[in-house]
Structure 1
Amino acid sequence: MEKRTYGKTDMQVSVLGFGGAEIGFEGADQREVDRLLGSALDAGLNLIDTAECYKNSEELIGRAISGRRSDYYLFTKCGHAAGLDLPDWDPRMLEQSIDRSLARLKTDYVDVIHLHSCSEEVLKRGDVIDVLKRAKEQGKTRFIGYSGDHTNALYAVRTGAFDSLMTSLNVADQEAIDLTLSEAAERGMGVVAKRPVANVAWRHAAEPDAKAYEYPYWQRLQKLNYGLLQGNLEETVGRALRFTLSTPGVHTAIVGTAKPDRWAENARLLERGALPEAEYLAIRERWQAVAEADWIGLE
């Protein structure tokens, strides 16, 4: 699998990373996670992302592959108390959360800790950034980052404090391309694209429930009406994923699944390489012509 240098870091990350939300929220069985992550690492995936609030995701990952720690880069997030008896974003809570994540993941360090959708108001206080800097100084993480979107992400990038940016980017969510990616690149930040296939919202012929995770993207796609999303579902997912990874400044795309064979299917979709420039530009031009003012990056 193709590898890219992650910003100014020494990490050579696979262009497809594993997102750990679904294995937590969907109650994946440990044996399934063992198989899923073991086969993914064997086939060249080397980036795993999770978070403090993805239920038992960190524990599942730690039990599955802690014995192969040198085979992968490990990212997690902090910010939400998720059971700790302190408020979200409290500096004391962040320190406890980081230590808890290391214990759950059965490791002495992670490669990146991202602040998890932190507001500009909280960032301006400075204390949450200081917690991450101390964690880096103490060897608990090699690099620090910000995970989020819209103007909060732009402020985070402009602080110059972070090595990494995780942000939403896909055919139905392109604000980051114009708002943050060029500034992140100027600062040598590594960039992770989350939601890279827009939750495959176009698979729904009928309007999904308004509370569904993919609903906002489904609404946008009705108006965007991309030709590239018509036809075989696997092929359309491949084109959407290639669009995201063809965007300048993006180093890896995080795809979540709780199904052991799904990640390999996603990897095969990338074998055709970058999206042809004409197709990429057509998607960008359609977005620029149709996107509404409130189509900001989704958290």
Structure 2
Amino acid sequence: MIKTLHDLHRPLGSTGLTVSPLGLGTVKFGRDQGVKYPNGFRIPDDFEARQLLNQARELGINLIDTAPAYGTSEERLGPLLRGQRNDWVIVSKVGEEFENGQSRHDFSSAHTRFSVERSLKRLETDRIDLVLVHSDGNDLAILRETGIYETLAALKEEGKIGAYGLSGKTVEGGLLALEQGDCAMVTYNLNEQAEKPVLDYAARHTKGILIKKALASGHVCLASGIDPVRASFELLFSHPGVCSAIVGTINPVHLAHNVAMAATVIRQLR
């Protein structure tokens, strides 16, 4: 029997969103420059991307993660997801742009609003379920000094976004992001666990947590005989604060393996 995630969806904190324990990251749908993966890859064509999205949906994944900084990812997802909008929880971001092979950041209120409106058009939707601030590492300064959360709160009031938070790089930023917002996306894997206090806070306060680099972008190294995917998911899903882990594979075999392993681990931990 093929293991799926259909019966393992869980709340994303107190956002009202219900998400699969694995989400599909789509940086590889739109960008192959300046990415930190151990192996090169080819951006999938529309047929391959559609097949991967269909496979993800059939395996019980309903969470899709994109961003303006992911090259053409948003523009491609709009047409690819036509007719399926209510099947997906869409996460996008604000604050980082990627142009001509270079990243730049703009956390101003004007750019934040522009970015969300542009993402709505690209994704061919009237709402984005969750918008995260794409931090450059200066988490506290971004949250305290730019007014970006206030802008996102206004967009939430207008119904253009459902929830907001921070994809950050520091414990302090993650904690402030959760105190004032709905969700944090944090790095947490077998190699890096410094942001665990953010997960602990989220579990205590019913806030949303998404995990990035769950498999350390393919860099996890363990003793022979130990499955790194299984060990990674045992770490993640044993923590009550973790809602979903974003995996960015474009390999159908890897995707099926990840889903089967996540389903096995979560059921064993119950």
TM-score range, shorter chain: 0.7 to 0.9
Partner of 1:56: 72
| Aligned-CA RMSD value | 2.1
Q: Give the conservation status (yes or no) of the 8 Å contact 1:113–1:143.
A: yes
> Matches of 1:154 and 1:3 in 2, distance apart?
25
Q: CA deviation at 1:194?
A: 0.7
Partner of 2:239: 247
SS of corresponding position for 1:107: coil
Q: Give the conservation status (yes or no) of the 8 Å contact 1:169–1:244.
A: yes
Instruction: Confirm or deny that 1:149 pairs with 2:192.
Output: no
- Which amino acid letter does the alignment assign opposite residue 88 of structure 1? D
> Matches of 2:263 and 2:205 in 1, distance apart?
30
Instruction: Confirm or deny that 1:265 pairs with 2:257.
Output: yes
Q: Give the conservation status (yes or no) of the 8 Å contact 2:12–2:243.
A: yes
In structure 2, relative to structure 1, the CA distance for the partners of 1:250 and 1:199 (3 Å cut) is: same
> Matches of 1:145 and 1:58 in 2, distance apart?
19
Partner of 1:17: 23
Q: Give the conservation status (yes or no) of the 8 Å contact 1:25–1:55.
A: yes
Q: CA deviation at 1:88?
A: 1.0
In structure 2, relative to structure 1, the CA distance for the partners of 1:90 and 1:253 (3 Å cut) is: same
Instruction: Confirm or deny that 1:111 pairs with 2:116.
Output: no
Q: Structure 1: 5+ residue runs without aligned partners?
A: 204-228, 278-299
Q: Give the conservation status (yes or no) of the 8 Å contact 2:187–2:212.
A: yes
One of 140, 164, 167 as aligned partner of 2:160: 140
Aligned length: 246
- Which amino acid letter does the alignment assign opposite residue 47 of structure 1? L
SS of corresponding position for 1:143: strand
Partner of 1:230: 223
Q: Give the conservation status (yes or no) of the 8 Å contact 2:108–2:146.
A: no
Partner of 1:99: 117
Deviates more, 1:42-51 or 1:183-192: 183-192
Q: Structure 2: 5+ residue runs without aligned partners?
A: 33-42
SS of corresponding position for 2:90: strand
What percent of counterpart residues are identical?
Answer: 32
In structure 2, relative to structure 1, the CA distance for the partners of 1:43 and 1:30 (3 Å cut) is: same
Q: 1:70-101 CA distances to partner (integer Å, 9 max, x unpaired)?
A: 11101101012445xx9611211111111111
Equivalences for 1:134-213 in 2 at 5 Å? 134-150=154-170, 151-157=172-178, 160-177=179-196, 179-202=197-220
Partner of 1:294: none
Runs of 4+ in 1 over 3 A off after TM superposition: 274-277
Normalising to structure 1: TM-score of the pair? Answer: 0.76
> Matches of 2:60 and 2:69 in 1, distance apart?
27
Q: Give the conservation status (yes or no) of the 8 Å contact 1:110–1:140.
A: yes
One of 92, 96, 106 as aligned partner of 1:88: 106
> Matches of 2:244 and 2:255 in 1, distance apart?
14
Q: CA deviation at 1:154?
A: 2.7
Q: 1:172-195 CA distances to partner (integer Å, 9 max, x unpaired)?
A: 111121x21222233321110111
Partner of 2:144: 124
> Matches of 2:51 and 2:259 in 1, distance apart?
16
- Which amino acid letter does the alignment assign opposite residue 175 of structure 2? L
SS of corresponding position for 1:108: coil
Q: Give the conservation status (yes or no) of the 8 Å contact 1:38–1:65.
A: no
Normalising to structure 2: TM-score of the pair? Answer: 0.84
> Matches of 2:258 and 2:192 in 1, distance apart?
20
- Which amino acid letter does the alignment assign opposite residue 143 of structure 1? A
Q: Give the conservation status (yes or no) of the 8 Å contact 2:188–2:236.
A: yes
SS of corresponding position for 1:270: helix
SS of corresponding position for 2:129: strand
> Matches of 1:66 and 1:231 in 2, distance apart?
44
Instruction: Tell me which protein shows more helix as a share of its residues.
Output: 1
